[in-house]
A and B are shown apart, each in its own frame.
Chain A
Amino acid sequence: LAKTTQPISMDSYEGQEVNITCSHNNIATNDYITWYQQFPSQGPRFIIQGYKTKVTNEVASLFIPADRKSSTLSLPRVSLSDTAVYYCLVRRGTGRRALTFGSGTRLQVQP
């Protein structure tokens, strides 16, 4: 399974766009890139998933370059409530269904 690397922590201010980049150099052809968000004292929550190019939903955008060796989660106009840990995961399209979590990025949004 592809190992992921992401910054340990990031700081931002309310109203700014936040981009969190994740490196997954040995991603396989049938792997998907998935991001989860975890607030304190809660379980992780699925945010977004993609395979290539760009995916957008009501919460975030996910940018994946052609070589797929990295991905960037973009959070537009963050607010204090976006303070959380963000996990980048690479998972197979078939087979093992359990998730392998890396260390995550702790995002702190300041007023």
Chain B
Amino acid sequence: SAVISQKPSRDICQRGTSLTIQCQVDSQVTMMFWYRQQPGQSLTLIATANQGSEATYESGFVIDKFPISRPNLTFSTLTVSNMSPEDSSIYLCSVEAGGPDEQYFGPGTRLTVT
């Protein structure tokens, strides 16, 4: 298993600013994933972050808007840049741990953009 923490747990930001979300894992993992969950909706994958390589973004998500860092095997950050109200959402990170078929999720960061 894996224990994941995220910071901040929530934030209210103004339009046009940026927010960096941190994801910390209690063990070393190769792959980390970032998801977005809009209110009342399912989860949508933003990108996959492997340590030592560029993140791989899903269709509809671009690096300029959601830059990701993965400096080591236990940590990653996701930045939401130049925010608009449409970016209001819960952002979650996850890792694959405990076996090849189990993913563990952080508690999420609830972002509100005004």
| Chain A residues within 8 Å of B, Cβ to Cβ | 32, 34, 41-46, 49, 87, 91, 97-104
> Is B45 a contact of A98 with CB atoms below 8 Å?
yes
| Interface of chain A: mostly helix, strand, loop or mixed | loop
Chain A positions within 8 Å of B106 at CB level: 43
Residues of chain B lying within 8 A (CB to CB) of residue A41:
107-108, 110
Interface residues of B: mostly helix, strand, loop or mixed? strand
- B66 on the interface (CB 8 Å rule)? no
- Cβ-defined contact, A98 with B102, below 8 A: no
Q: What are 14 residue pairs bridging A and B, where the CB atoms are less than 8 Å apart in the complex? A: A41-B108, A42-B105, A42-B108, A43-B92, A43-B105, A44-B43, A45-B105, A91-B101, A97-B96, A98-B48, A99-B33, A99-B43, A101-B44, A102-B42
With CB as the reference atom, state the residue of chain A lying closest to B110. Answer: A41
